[in-house]
Structure 1
């Protein structure tokens, strides 16, 4: 579990390190990474999370209400985060970046990361959670890129950037450890997982269906989707 916690924590810093590849107008690679991570989230939701939820709940259709709650919750969170968690990055001016980095935006992003990791901690109790774990890690890479880019855009110093990235990086391990140690989350595990499924569905489809008139990128989006589905399917097969 210590290794998993460490990987969760440093995935955000991994994104910040990758941000060096996306400076000087090289945003194409970021868009491809976003498309791949979004496709992977959708694939693990369709191939693993949703089937497991309905199987373990005895095909209880009321679980669908919690999936819809997850979608609604993500819509509400985006009023505060401005869509940072699925790759919305504005370049109008420094003021725009300052607005997106408001306390409400940072708090919403922290809550998003904390919530999606809660069921992961419960899964660790059952010695599972590999697929959800990698979904969260892959999701945090582009988020780390975007946060680092925005911190740089507002002129934040390196030490302060590392501090704020570290605070955000703690949110996912905090969620997983809360799910692991707090007994009540074991009792509502399926409902938590259903909410996370809804969150993933909203984020992934927003990324995938975001309009883009660049035909080259649309082709890469299709390729990214296919590769992400293949990877997700192989992981599902291996972990089952």
Structure 2
């Protein structure tokens, strides 16, 4: 499941971007739901799971995860939470965006094979992000081959993160610290989605309802 579902999520996002051409309003509402869902799963399930006898140390690594995500977003221009805009003069392969998204996806995949609830949080989050990234790449002047290569590798990175956790047993000693980094990444991405995805930072009733729905679904999952 942790290997297949993230790939399916990217394929769904690509299909919506290519065939349905979803409007920005619906994508933002889906993004709001996914942000609320991911944040809730992180708070309800992931944080209590990771925080044990390492409270302060885990807090340090959580903050490092937040700082790492801020740095990654400097490279990606905020693609992880939907802030990616079309530029018709995009001809070069977006290397920094690619590297940032791959690191982000690799890390988010690390805890997934042990946590089904978190897996669903990441999968739901990936769909609107994949729509936005695919739309950006489709509207650029990149060749279809480069677009497919970008999305193919992006889709694989989360499962690779899960495989690293599963088969590289020497990382077990550091697992709690890696997962604390991931908590920081999730906290930053999800809260940024909730507070910055609306124009002029204004909340509307549709967005509020989607956020509430995301929290409720996560709680009862």
C-alpha deviation, 1:183, in angstroms: 0.8
1:63-89 per-residue CA deviation (whole Å, 9 max, x = no partner) reads 100110110000011111111111012
- Which residue number corresponds to residue 107 of structure 1? 99
Task: Tell me the matched-pair count.
Answer: 219
| Structure 1: segments with no counterpart, 5+ residues | 124-128, 236-240
Q: Which residue, 75, 80, 83 being the options, matches 1:80?
A: 75
Structure 2 residue 133 is the aligned partner of structure 1 residue 147 = yes
- Which residue number corresponds to residue 212 of structure 1? 199
C-alpha deviation, 1:213, in angstroms: 4.6
- Which residue number corresponds to residue 238 of structure 1? none
- Which residue number corresponds to residue 49 of structure 1? 46
* In structure 2, C-alpha distance between the alignment counterparts of 1:22 and 1:8, rounded to whole Å: 21
* In structure 1, C-alpha distance between the alignment counterparts of 2:63 and 2:124, rounded to whole Å: 23
* In structure 1, C-alpha distance between the alignment counterparts of 2:167 and 2:58, rounded to whole Å: 24
* In structure 2, C-alpha distance between the alignment counterparts of 1:22 and 1:58, rounded to whole Å: 48
1:74, 1:202 within 8 Å by CA — same for their partners in 2? yes
| Structure 2: segments with no counterpart, 5+ residues | none
TM-score (norm 2): 0.91
Q: Which residue, 113, 116, 122 being the options, matches 2:108?
A: 116
C-alpha deviation, 1:50, in angstroms: 1.3
* In structure 2, C-alpha distance between the alignment counterparts of 1:22 and 1:205, rounded to whole Å: 26
Provide the secondary structure at the position in 2 that maps to 1:188: helix
CA RMSD of aligned residues (A): 2.0
2:91, 2:141 within 8 Å by CA — same for their partners in 1? no
* In structure 1, C-alpha distance between the alignment counterparts of 2:5 and 2:58, rounded to whole Å: 31
- Which residue number corresponds to residue 15 of structure 2? 17
Provide the secondary structure at the position in 2 that maps to 1:5: coil
* In structure 2, C-alpha distance between the alignment counterparts of 1:157 and 1:13, rounded to whole Å: 18
Q: Which residue, 137, 147, 152 being the options, matches 2:123?
A: 137
TM-score (norm 1): 0.84
Worse-matched range after superposition: 222-231 or 154-163: 154-163
1:45, 1:200 within 8 Å by CA — same for their partners in 2? yes
* In structure 2, C-alpha distance between the alignment counterparts of 1:114 and 1:16, rounded to whole Å: 19
C-alpha deviation, 1:154, in angstroms: 1.1
* In structure 1, C-alpha distance between the alignment counterparts of 2:91 and 2:81, rounded to whole Å: 18
